Amino acid sequence: MKRQKRDPLGRAHSKGYQAGLSGKNKEQCPYQNVDVKSQWLGGWRDAISDRNSGLFK
């Protein structure tokens, strides 16, 4: 049985979240595609808001 590939948009969101938690700047987004970049930025924004609310340090 073939393995399904990961959802690229979901993966971009999680990578953006990880980047936001590690303190990276949003200009460091590695993606050029508009849809994928928007998912990465959405994850980044979620991580920044979580950090600011005190969930992570």
Q: Does the pLDDT of residue 31 top 70, yes or no?
A: yes
Helix axes 34-52, 8-21, angle to 10 degrees: 40
Closest listed residue to residue 38, CA positions, set 18, 8, 13, 6: 13
Tokens linked to 20: 């936001």
Closest listed residue to residue 51, CA positions, set 24, 15, 33, 13: 24
Tokens linked to 33: 């595609």
pTM for this predicted structure? 0.84
pLDDT the model gives residue 2? 60
pLDDT the model gives residue 6? 76
Dist. CA 40–CA 20, nearest whole Å? 10
pLDDT the model gives residue 57? 64
Q: Does the pLDDT of residue 1 top 60, yes or no?
A: no
**pLDDT band with cut points at 50, 70 and 90 for residue 40:** very high
Q: Does the pLDDT of residue 56 top 90, yes or no?
A: no
